[in-house]
Amino acid sequence: MLAFITIKFITHQVYLSIEQEHLISRTKVLANGVGRNLDAAILFNDRIEATEILSAFKADPLIARVELNTLNQQKFSQYKNEKITFIFPSKDEETKLAQQSYVFGSQMLYMFVPIDMKGEQIGQLRIAVSLIALKQMQFNHFKLSLLLMIGLFLLSSVFIYLMFSWLLADKSSEEKIEQLEYLATHDMLTELPNRSKLHTELTQQLTQLKNTHSQMAVLFIDLDDFKSVNDSHDHQTGDKALKVIAERLRHTLRDSDIIARLAGDEFVAVLNPVKSAEDARQTSARLLSKIREPLHLGKLQLQLNASIGCYYVSADNALDAEEVIKQADEAMYDAKLSGKGQISEYNQFN
């Protein structure tokens, strides 16, 4: 009995430590992914956009509250899970939190996750995660221990083996992390890659381009006067329209191309490779044509248009992914100034 109790105590501590590490890991994966999408909202003081981005934390029902703070610790925006009662950390927990960026309280895990842009911190996410699931697992563990003690004298060796196997098994953790990674790198509305995923893939393609003699084109696509759709109807109608447009853009491009949603009504397409400027222009024209096709949303019919900015990238390109997107963005604004519904090129095809 003494040996059994000793083993149970040790395995319980190991089990608890593993589950705590998994909880921290899952939360960090989601927080880092969301954080990479908040830089523009922070820089442009767009609290509404920040609140929309923070809604991605709905993916984890255990997250009780997330506060987005600026560097001077002023609250910028927040997400609340109304189904979970938030408990403020004690002074002692606040002190430990400041020292090691996370602390387990009696009812919640408190975490600080920095938001960086180009190596510099521009904000901070303060996250509170409910421990109700962890406590339920501990309670289940306690009940199972009592049952095992009753049958210890008959099946002690078998039960101890099963307990080690069950307690130390990494059940479904990898699958959950993969799901959270997908949510962190894809837009929840359109299921297209988000800004973070686009930045990663474009960086990889820019590196590969240096070893080839091919070129690619980056298209910045912005729907014209899309705000009027939300103003004249509602955000639900606007969301439905964005999902249809996203699907049209996806099916218009090749499998080797990338289409991502940055935010709102802004999309970026990466055409890789392109053999000539005419190839990029024809693809841009097809995209505009698809966007202009009438949208039938129930009894409602909408007619949309867009402006497209194009930036050509060659093997001798010295810009990083963010700078390339910025050049295409500037070309898109030139298209807006030219009367909207236009295609504007920032540079020439080499």
Amino acid at 25: S
Q: Distance between CA 48 and CA 31 in Å, rounded? A: 18
Residue 169 is given by DSSP the state: -
Residue closest to 349 by CA, chosen among 294, 289, 273, 288: 273
* Kind of pairing between the strands at 102-104 and 108-117: antiparallel
Burial-class residue 331 by CB neighbours within 10 Å (0-12, 13-18, 19+).
Answer: buried
Q: What are 48's two structure tokens?
A: 């509404």
Task: Please give the span between the terminal C-alpha atoms of the chain, in angstroms, as a whole number.
Answer: 79
Buried b (16+ CB within 10 A) or exposed e, 205-231: bbeebeeeeebbbbbbbbbbebeebbe
Query: Catalytic annotation on 279?
Result: no
Q: What DSSP string runs through 76-142?
A: EEEEE-TTS---PPPHHHHHHHHHHSEEE-SSEEEEEEEEEETTEEEEEEEEEEE-HHHHHHHHHHH
Amino acid at 327: Q
Beta carbons of 64 and 81 less than 8 angstroms apart: yes
Beta carbons of 266 and 335 less than 8 angstroms apart: no
Beta carbons of 111 and 127 less than 8 angstroms apart: yes
- Catalytic hit among 224, 265, 279, 334: 265
Q: Is 322 helix (H, G, I), strand (E, B) or coil?
A: helix
Beta carbons of 306 and 288 less than 8 angstroms apart: yes
User: So which residues are the catalytic ones?
Assistant: 265
